[in-house]
Structure 1
Amino acid sequence: MKLLILCGLIALAFGRQGFGPGEQEWGYVTVREDAHMFWWLYLTTAEVKTYEEKPLIIWLQGGPGASSTGYGNFAELGPLDLDRKPRDFTWVKDANVLFIDNPVGTGYSYVDSAAAYTRDNKQIAEDLVALMKGFYEKMPSFKTVPLYITAESYGGKMAAEFGLVLDKAIKDGEIECNLKGVGLGDSWVSPIDSVLTWAPYLLHFGAVDQAGYDKIESAALETKRLLEAGRFVDATDMWRETEYVVMDVTHDVDFYNVLKKIGNGYSKHSGKIIAKPSARDLDDVKLDILMNGDVKKALDLNVRWGAQSGAVFSYLSGDFMKANTEVVEQLLNSTDIKVFVFSGQLDLIVDTPGTVLWVDRLNWAGKKQWETAKRNVISVEGINEGYRKEVGNLGLYWVNRAGHMVPADNPKAMDFILRKLTNDYAA
């Protein structure tokens, strides 16, 4: 009887009541001096004897400076949406989901001094490995659980390098971890390929005429020139200017989903004020209230969510436009890790044409086979949810009816991709 009571106590101690349904754990890891990274784990609500029966999936947000615990959690794939209502397609139903506020300074993560902000992608990856060491100290039973790193936007650039650095740390015996795959969603892996395809994408979509195309193309080519000249901060500034040109000639097309309804006001940068705020702006306000109100109180945190997020981007402006395709090639050539790339076809900021360009250029062992591989349909319940191409450990997924936020826009296609990545985690 004493043994049974003891086991019960251990089970109860495993997870806490955080914010929303299910058991959770959260905490900080000091990844470097003055650099404190926050993580928030949702333990799966699947009917299992132990949580370790299901994989551990990390979600990294983009930006850099966008919060995984905020945007990824409440706007895309966590158990509750922004209105605190249960989400039908939450990943937590089938997996343990770990949200990380990364890089340091993002969301609830924070730094004690400006010197502690990250300056490049390699340092971000090293911080994430340090975070995982601290996480496994708190949750040692997850060391052998299959781990998958998934991400969106700039998070994909970080995820690729994180996977490579983590794989090396595992091989060097620095960390015990069962890393199996990396999922790169609408990822800023080759930024210039995205920028250079904005004009043709919008022209073929009918969002601009030839005159608008020419203006975007001119700005995009100047971004490329600065990048190739090694003027990386200037290239980032020119990328922003190119965005302004797009907003002007399209009258504010939604960069994250070109089919989103937009107002008929004038562009923000033209000196005119849009008549009413967008739904996205209103959601940002709603999220800020939530994260700095009830969530912060429930998790007993004394840090203001998002207070340092703007600085995160500023300190990474010199790294922002640099490509990371070589890291993806290393993942494919020197590890047995699965690399899945997925792209919402209605996304503009990291458009599908640009993504296909850099994926097709990858130099890896399966390149020749990739060139002639057949593209198949993503079929879910008899509906075409997109297309897929798979060779060896590389998979590319075109997702229909989805923009930048694939998990929220087309959860059925996302579920299909996750099952492929994790060998049918929900089975």
Structure 2
Amino acid sequence: MVKKKRRWQRLPDEVVSEVRRLDALGLSEQQIVEAVGVGKGSVHRVRHRRADVVGPVEPWQPRRGCLTLEDRVQIAVGLGRGETFTAIGARVGVAVSSISREVGGCRGRRSYDAAKAHRRAQRAARRPKCRRLDVSSELRRRVVELLEAWWSPEQIAARLRCEFPDRPEMWVSHETIYQSLYVQGRGELRKDLARCLRTGRARRRSRRESLRRGPIPDPVPISERPAEVEDRAVPGHWEGDLIFGAGTRHAFGTLVERQTRFVMLLHLPNGHSAENVRAAMAAKITDLPAELVKTITWDRGVEMARHQALTIDTGVEVYFCDPHSPWQRGSNENTNGLLRQYFPKGSDFSTITAEDLDQAAASLNSRPRKTLDWRTPAEALTELLAPTP
């Protein structure tokens, strides 16, 4: 007589979750059997389904928003059932990306264990941590050497991986370098090295501080600009920006016509506030025929916060480039570079007069341009204004 193989009954998911939770807390098999009310064999199979279950989890409560031990037990149960990350995230109540990072950081689906993952998170959360720049003098010397050569932290971090591909101890993230320079009391790098950064700041500017200047009300994106602007076939579309002097306290405005590259400069003796820029621009463009001033494309600077009032006063539509996309005002960027020949970086703009700006604009408008078949912007504008026969 052939003896039939015994079929084990599958435990309900909630029972499996409870067994794993109690096992992660360090209870013995007998204690789990008494607490859950199932057979010792069932508890044994659940506990030893993965061979990497070791030791109890120390009592530790993660900060708000982080995965708890209960969450990790639910993740382990879901993985055992073959569920997708999306389904597990929906049940646990976290984003699918959080589940993906959690499981990926613990060597994948087959190796994930709630207890080990929780201990790993606990170790990672311990503070303070010993920073690599404070441990390795060789790494610290190399970072200091590159900072003094005016390299950015991002360039340094990338270069170290190229120079030492087989020595991870010589790798450091750009964020670690920044924190070593900015945060008081770190001590890994000299504070005077902050002057080697391009900003020259010895402290980190918070996101809240950087947004303190305030947003532009209802900016019209460049994507809504008329299609005729793109090919430069129709005149009357301008690009604008500010050029700053030493310390950014003083500035003047620039306007460049896209088709003719004709330049107009805005004198701002009372500062570059939104109202001063609006008033100077309105006064300047009213000197031109209406058909030569249709739109203006500007950067995302808050000096154009009064763009709606400018449109009401002059009828000129104002459009704004996408964030961090100065190339969308290519003509203006190129012209600003030419104007630095007249007004070098670091110059004191407080002494610049309206006559100085007019002379610089006249000089620039009389210089031949290759893009205009070696005509000057003034000649190109004169041709547009000339009456047709």
- TM-score range relative to shorter protein: under 0.3
Higher helix share: 2
TM-score (norm 1): 0.21
TM-score (norm 2): 0.23
- In our comparison, the structure showing a higher alpha carbon Rg is 2
Higher strand share: 1
Task: Flag the structure with more relative contact order, 1 or 2, with Cα contacts below 8 A and sequence separation at least 6.
Answer: 1
